[in-house]
Structure 1
């Protein structure tokens, strides 16, 4: 008797793996369990508290410590400058001693400095607390860079893009918490938020301590100790990339002032633009980063980003002098175009940040990169205020032209970097 044919239901290993994964993992909303997920979770917890703190610290200094506006600005400026100087030496230390332990130390320092802010009752105490916090924060960023590079493996751009999406999501929740505290506006509410931020550093450390320890990578014996500071192509990349990163302040600094001072759009529109930008980054950053691998492709993405910034800013500039609902429509289109440019730029920047740096010195190079980013954020308000807010429509076009010029120059710097070192696939 012949056996009737049967249909095989056996699954391939890949299919079984997909079936066993949860829906959020299959959709890319959650990373596979392992070091990458732990690093992302630690970053979310850290950014959640940091975003809430940054949005409320000026008011805390004014209303609880009773400092003047001038003292608050000076204290925060001093802290920002102090934070810039720590990244390079601490990054070098992370390269030589291992990044995880150095990162954990910086989180402990931030816990202590944030807690000390609860007992600050003078300008000096306030400045010291926020300066130490900024110092440890920039140091932690330099130590985190090598961890991202080594745990990211062959998919660093995708992993870093996921981390950026997570950070944006955490910042949104942090801003909501800050808004609640500002609405309550009591000493207890401000103290509770600062204490909660101190706890987020502990929570982040509790997650990171479970990561495997990364041993330092060997470096060439004849190599100069501070190679990142003498790497001219990398420094040129940081200058151009720092100019491009000013774009991140366009929507958070220049646009709100433009809406209020130069358009008839309702003020609530400012919050809507931030929400649109956040949603687009959270859902599109990873997808945008797919295929951005290698210096040549990253350079093209940066070049496209510069053009998108010019177009988006030109659209936003036309919102002045038109009815409110027309201004809202115009600026929403401009914000969407600008955000697409920011997605391209972030993907290219994050690829080049790690690809142009030697593996054994990722911490030191991350420190240099962080210093460039810090200077960008220091200069951005004054530059955008002068061009976009004070000058008006021509200033928006000039700033957009600056972004285009930086984007066009980036591929030449990448080729220069490829000729000056032996790093696999730097420009291919």
Structure 2
């Protein structure tokens, strides 16, 4: 299991804020959609459309807010995004029409994307010699927090009354506000000066980094395999017991909590990150193939294949996440961390918005062949990643020949 608390004071503050925040996230991820359909009485089709619109909004926010964090201090900007997210989440209580729902959901989702970008300079500044390792630690903490939030949300779902769902929303908003309050104890981070003249939106002009963003976005569809494709496949195409849906989630969460930090320690250069992407793509191909074979066989055999596939898939997830942590930080210039990480988040944002529809059309509607197509897509992205990493490393050295940073030295030595 990962160390419970990091060594330094600032890291502890960030970790505590993240832990409280993710408890609120666990509440929403588990029962947020049910609140809108069961308590707010919005049609499911409107909820799906509204969440899609909110996802599109979030794509445009991360880069701009990341740039603000670089230029005006990350702590204040990050805390502001948490406050906005708390207020928008509280606004769910008033979202009794489609227009109000889109407004509240779009604001909350945009603030979430903005917060992820604004937090990146804090992780880089206080993350020690390897902020990527601290980011891996935070992901383990995230899984613990979301698990606790999911347990609390289970009570609201079981009770199923409007007051229970409303209490869930209030708890979600309070968690976000408390996360912002905890950040008061964090020493402020001074804005990083720019490296001379040139365009302000340099991340959008960095073609190798944009390619890596696109490849990571393709790989990020794998997160929806567990939460969207596997539950639907298990129910509609296999004889496996339905409780196995919770079992696959539990296996995934436990493995991530236990091993994300350990896996990330060995991925400490961009070149190693490219190799990890390749391994992840192959692992996803194997897991998708095993899932496809679980249809039309006895329940015990289907359950065995699905659980085996989930273990392999989660190993791939560990490699994918660690690779993303490494290349996104190491290939971003110090003075534009927030902006670059905001751009890198675009890939995951597109996967969030388009991944469910893609997986449903291929894996559920088409069936078994669709799983092989999805697995091949992950594999091709993984195979392309090392080439993109080498290109990004050469580009980074060409951009900063006079003062190569630590990431550049690592690329050249690999």
Aligned ranges 1:117-132 → 2 under 5 Å = 117-132=92-107
Q: 2:213, 2:346 within 8 Å by CA — same for their partners in 1?
A: no
How far, CA to CA, are the matches of 1:397 and 1:65 in structure 2?
Answer: 39
Q: Which moved more, 1:131-140 or 1:349-358?
A: 131-140
Gaps of 5+ in 2: 398-407
> Which residue in the other structure is 1:203 paired with?
178
Instruction: Give me the TM-score of the superposition, normalised by structure 2.
Output: 0.94
Match among 303, 318, 322 for residue 347 of structure 1? 322
Q: 2:238, 2:295 within 8 Å by CA — same for their partners in 1?
A: yes
> Which residue in the other structure is 2:167 paired with?
192
> Which residue in the other structure is 1:283 paired with?
258
Q: 1:157, 1:292 within 8 Å by CA — same for their partners in 2?
A: no
> Which residue in the other structure is 2:301 paired with?
326
How far, CA to CA, are the matches of 2:36 and 2:236 in structure 1?
Answer: 27
Q: 1:308, 1:340 within 8 Å by CA — same for their partners in 2?
A: yes
> Which residue in the other structure is 1:359 paired with?
334
Instruction: Give me the TM-score of the superposition, normalised by structure 1.
Output: 0.91
How far, CA to CA, are the matches of 2:9 and 2:248 in structure 1?
Answer: 35
Q: Which moved more, 1:110-119 or 1:136-145?
A: 110-119
Match among 392, 411, 414 for residue 426 of structure 1? 411
Q: Which moved more, 1:51-60 or 1:156-165?
A: 51-60
How far, CA to CA, are the matches of 2:99 and 2:122 in structure 1?
Answer: 35
TM-superposed CA distance for 1:390, in Å, is 2.0
Q: 2:195, 2:335 within 8 Å by CA — same for their partners in 1?
A: no
Structure whose alpha-carbon radius of gyration is higher? 1
How many pairs does the alignment contain? 403
> Which residue in the other structure is 1:66 paired with?
41
Q: Which moved more, 1:83-92 or 1:216-225?
A: 216-225
TM-superposed CA distance for 1:184, in Å, is 0.8
Match among 133, 142, 151 for residue 117 of structure 2? 142
Q: 2:213, 2:345 within 8 Å by CA — same for their partners in 1?
A: no
> Which residue in the other structure is 1:170 paired with?
145
How far, CA to CA, are the matches of 1:385 and 1:118 in structure 2?
Answer: 31
TM-superposed CA distance for 1:314, in Å, is 1.3
Match among 296, 300, 324 for residue 271 of structure 2? 296
Aligned ranges 1:103-122 → 2 under 5 Å = 103-122=78-97
Q: Which moved more, 1:98-107 or 1:68-77?
A: 68-77
Gaps of 5+ in 1: 1-23
Match among 203, 208, 212 for residue 228 of structure 1? 203
Q: 1:146, 1:362 within 8 Å by CA — same for their partners in 2?
A: yes
Q: 2:280, 2:320 within 8 Å by CA — same for their partners in 1?
A: yes
> Which residue in the other structure is 1:308 paired with?
283
SS at match of 2:410: coil
SS at match of 1:209: helix
How far, CA to CA, are the matches of 2:21 and 2:62 in structure 1?
Answer: 18
SS at match of 2:142: helix
